[in-house]
């Protein structure tokens, strides 16, 4: 049974009623798998939603492309960037730039998802890659950031590595769709990276991540098989085992004789 792609209004109506699922996916295979698995929301690289095959792979995924603010530029640059993505079937755009930039897009009816808590592109302001909002003062700063996003016209916000108690209290006091990355179930959606779920990430695993498969081991196995196959090919060429007669084409003897006479005459 096919699913209907949710709208912003649909997501707002679901706030507080059930936990939505969200993934960061990087390619068509992952997007198609998310579609078939029943995931609700995906974050994607902009080039993926611009791929004309994207909606064939993921017809019902609420799709949110995004890049770090310093990759895009000024507020006007963001608007041009967002229009192109919206035209290509994006349902919202992620933006970690300032409130004025978010308001600039919202004023032009672009649904915008902001970011609070640990914001990787701005982590220097909160002490690096660690939890944000563990004191009353810093928790209030997260709350105030959410209220600033509301005022700017955002429709939602990723809330990353904030204490669960703080995230729940904030989510209950905002109209924004709150996307939890390591901030607990008091928000509206749970957000993980496909790389972590699939076990593709060979680096640091965040506390909030959960590994369901070991694709890294499978890639290692495939790479070993790749090397073995290439090595066998090299050995076959060196030994004369390749090519065999079945790999080549022969000329009819009469045509070959005629060809040889003509080519010798020109030599």
- Collapsing DSSP to helix, strand or coil, 24 comes out as strand
Q: Tell me, yes or no, if 160 is annotated catalytic.
A: yes
Among residues 30, 35, 158, 160, which one is catalytic?
160
- Collapsing DSSP to helix, strand or coil, 29 comes out as helix
Residue found by looking up tokens 């004369």 in the block: 240
Q: Based on the number of CB atoms within 10 Å of its own CB, is 54 exposed (0-12), middle (13-18) or buried (19 or more)?
A: buried
- The answer to whether the beta carbons of residues 214 and 199 sit under 8 Å apart is yes
User: Strand order of the sheet with strand 41-44?
Assistant: 62-65, 41-44, 20-24, 189-193, 177-181, 156-160, 112-117, 93-94
- The answer to whether the beta carbons of residues 186 and 168 sit under 8 Å apart is yes
Positions annotated as catalytic residues are 160
């Amino acid at each position: 049974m096919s699913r209907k792609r949710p709208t912003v209004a649909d997501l707002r109506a679901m706030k507080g009623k059930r936990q939505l699922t969200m993934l960061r996916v990087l390619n068509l295979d992952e997007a198609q798998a998310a579609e078939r698995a029943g995931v609700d929301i995906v974050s994607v690289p902009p080039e993926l939603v611009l791929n004309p095959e994207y909606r064939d792979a993921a017809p019902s995924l609420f799709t949110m492309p995004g890049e770090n603010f310093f990759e895009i530029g000024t507020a006007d640059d963001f608007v041009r960037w967002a229009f192109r993505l919206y035209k290509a079937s994006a349902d919202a755009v992620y933006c970690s730039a300032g409130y004025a930039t978010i308001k600039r897009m919202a004023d032009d009816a672009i649904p915008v998802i902001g970011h609070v808590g640990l914001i990787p592109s701005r982590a220097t302001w909160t002490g690096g890659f660690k939890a944000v909002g563990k004191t009353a003062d810093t928790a209030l700063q997260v709350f105030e950031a959410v209220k600033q996003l509301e005022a700017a016209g955002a429709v939602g916000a990723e809330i990353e590595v904030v204490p669960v108690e703080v995230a729940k209290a904030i989510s209950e006091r905002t109209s924004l769709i709150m996307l939890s990355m390591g901030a607990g179930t008091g928000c509206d959606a749970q957000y993980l990276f496909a790389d972590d779920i699939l076990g593709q990430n060979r680096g640091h695993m965040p506390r909030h991540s959960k590994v369901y498969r070991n694709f890294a081991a499978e890639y290692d196995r495939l790479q070993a098989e790749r090397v073995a196959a290439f090595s066998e090919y090299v050995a076959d060429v060196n030994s004369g085992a390749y090519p065999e007669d079945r790999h080549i084409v022969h000329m009819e003897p009469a045509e070959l004789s005629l060809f040889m006479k003509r080519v010798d005459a020109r030599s």
